[in-house]
Amino acid sequence: MSKVTYKDAGVDLDVYDEAMTRLPRLMHRTFSPRVLKLDGGFAGLFQLDFSNRLFSRNYDDPVLVACTDGVGTKLKVAQRCGKHDTLGIDLVAMSVNDALCCGAEPLLFLDYVAMSHDDPPVLEQLVRGVSDGCIQADCALLGGETAIMPDLYRRGEYDLAGFCVGVVERKQIIDGKAIVPGDTLLGVASSGLHANGYSLARKVVFEVGGFDVHDHVDGLGTTVGEALLTPTRIYAQPVRKILRHYKVKSVVHGLAHVTGGGLRGNLERILPAGTQAQIDEGSWPVPPVFPWLQRLADIDDAEMARVFNLGIGLVLVVSPYYAESIQRMLAECGHDSRPIGRIVPAS
């Protein structure tokens, strides 16, 4: 009987070792002084506060905030395109944007990559995207895991999961309880589909529409693949700037990350009893990718609004007195925003 090796089973440890040598530099570029380097260790080390007095946070009653998410079947589009370097941005965005909704400062991120076989160039592209996202979010890529599972995934397939940990002072937690009638809804623009609704989008584009990822769509000004792989917008920079400037909870009363469930579905998650959101439909520009998808398969308006963000990726529920000032701060960070409605008493 011939000897059987791990390589015969589909896992080449020499190639795996090569892949691992590509990752430390992508992690190191995200490190802040709070990261304690432990290359090759079994875990990552992160000190909650700076040891340098000039940058110390001096927390009074810190609360850790944890989030996890993936990027759904947007993975299938990237694999179809052979382009893997932006999915990591989506991965970071989906968890970091959730953490922001509690008022948290994102601290660190972990990724999990499961692959069909050892592929160092693809793994490097994936982790480069995560590294880029962490830089945008100002958090450290502290560690991760790469699993090679040839019998679970078809060759060339992979999956991603991400985990974010943040911190917020207990008295600064944003939970929506301060929302009152009269508050303004400030909608912050999305970059497109973000990482939601891709099972529907793929069916519409590739099955109903019969498009290929390389087809150019005049109404979009891009190829199909470019439109569908536009990275999710990360809102950490403007939100952290606003919350540092307005430290009292009487200004920002609630934050909603618009993901699966759409604008109304995600706003409802933070509204206290006795209130409801009155949204001014048509008060913001809808990116062309959405009406294009809707026309391709004659999707009704209610379904579109329930599945997709339709151009609003984040909503800030704020005191109306500060709405214009907050809009200016968002604009300074390169984010378009506009009032899209208000909070009213529940009917």
| pLDDT at 110 (0 to 100) | 98
| pLDDT at 50 (0 to 100) | 85
CATH topology of domain 184-345: Phosphoribosyl-aminoimidazole Synthetase; Chain A, domain 2 (3.90.650)
Contact 126, 120 (CB under 8 A): no
Cα dihedral 280, 281, 283, 289 sign = positive
| pLDDT at 55 (0 to 100) | 79
CA distance 255 to 316: 5
Global pTM reads 0.96
**Bridge partners of 279?**
341
Residue spans of the domains in the chain: they are 13-172, 184-345
Spans of the chain below 50 pLDDT: none
| pLDDT at 53 (0 to 100) | 82
E strands present in the chain: 35-36, 45-46, 62-69, 105-115, 140-148, 158-169, 184-189, 216-217, 222-223, 252-257, 275-279, 312-318, 337-345
| pLDDT at 1 (0 to 100) | 60
CA distance 92 to 86: 10
How are the residues of the chain apportioned to helix, strand and coil, as percentages rounded to the nearest 5? Answer: 35, 25, 40
| pLDDT at 294 (0 to 100) | 98
**Bridge partners of 103?**
none
| pLDDT at 139 (0 to 100) | 97
CA distance 194 to 71: 9
CATH class for domain 13-172? Answer: alpha beta
Contact 127, 26 (CB under 8 A): yes
